[in-house]
């Protein structure tokens, strides 16, 4: 690949290593012309299999397009939306498949969106899960409330910390 500094076409790899999570390879390179160093990251290409049978490269923008609509008027920042896109991509990459069905992308959106904004989550889920009636909303809300009650219960009963050893303090100091 071309040097990002001088655009020279010949660069050498100094070092390659797999990232800690195993999802990409980082290569340290040096330009043979200007001798500046830079790092490239090689990632598996995620491909989305559409319902039509066509495939396209995974796009974070496309993955969050439906979320953006669902968040309309909710006052959620672009940064938070970008973070959600990152989380979705991370979750899909962590699953380890190179090709993912488009509905799996929607599935990967649901959980982080639930954490981000419950109203947007309900809007998104109503489209994604093709809600047919008010009772579908009621069921989904019941699920949300149950999950929230569980989370609050867990926060209310923190694990009791192990007592610190007092042996050293019990020793006479003189």
- Enumerate binding residues for Zn ion (CB under 5 A): 3, 5-6, 8, 31, 33-34
Across the chain, which distance is largest between two alpha carbons, in Å?
82
Nearer to Zn ion, 6 or 119 (CB): 6
Q: How many helices (H) and strands (E) does the chain have?
A: 7, 6
Nearer to Zn ion, 35 or 139 (CB): 35
* Minimum distance, C-beta of residue 11 to Zn ion, in the bound complex (Å): 7
Nearer to Zn ion, 31 or 92 (CB): 31
Under a CB-based contact definition with an 8 Å cutoff, are residues 79 and 109 in contact? no
Closest by CA to 16, choosing from 24, 7, 25, is: 25
* Minimum distance, C-beta of residue 35 to Zn ion, in the bound complex (Å): 7
The pair of structure tokens assigned to 17 is: 């290593």
* Minimum distance, C-beta of residue 14 to Zn ion, in the bound complex (Å): 14
Q: Give the β-pairing of 47-49 and 99-101.
A: parallel
Nearer to Zn ion, 8 or 17 (CB): 8
Q: At what angle do helices 118-128 and 134-156 cross, to 10 degrees?
A: 140
* Minimum distance, C-beta of residue 36 to Zn ion, in the bound complex (Å): 5
Q: Using CA atoms, how far apart are residues 105 and 128, in angstroms rounded to an integer?
A: 10
Residue reference for tokens 């380890």:
96
- 161, with CB counted inside 10 A (0-12, 13-18, 19+), is exposed
Nearer to Zn ion, 6 or 14 (CB): 6
* Minimum distance, C-beta of residue 30 to Zn ion, in the bound complex (Å): 9
């Amino acid at each position: 690949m071309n040097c990002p500094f001088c655009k020279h076409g010949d660069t050498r790899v100094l070092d390659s290593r797999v990232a800690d999570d195993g999802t990409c390879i980082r290569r340290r390179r040096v330009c043979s012309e200007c001798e500046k160093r830079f790092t490239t990251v090689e990632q598996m290409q995620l491909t989305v299999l559409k319902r039509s049978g066509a495939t396209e490269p995974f796009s974070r923008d496309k993955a969050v397009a439906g979320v953006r609509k669902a968040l309309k008027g909710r006052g959620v920042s672009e940064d938070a939306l970008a973070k959600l896109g990152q989380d979705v991509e991370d979750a899909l990459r962590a699953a380890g498949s190179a090709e993912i069905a488009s509905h799996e992308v929607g599935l990967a959106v649901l959980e982080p969106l639930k954490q981000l904004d419950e109203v947007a989550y309900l809007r998104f889920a109503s489209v994604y899960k093709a809600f047919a009636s008010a009772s579908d909303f009621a069921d989904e809300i019941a699920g949300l409330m149950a999950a929230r009650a569980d989370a609050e219960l867990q926060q209310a009963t923190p694990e009791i910390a192990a007592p610190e050893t007092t042996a050293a303090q019990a020793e006479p100091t003189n």
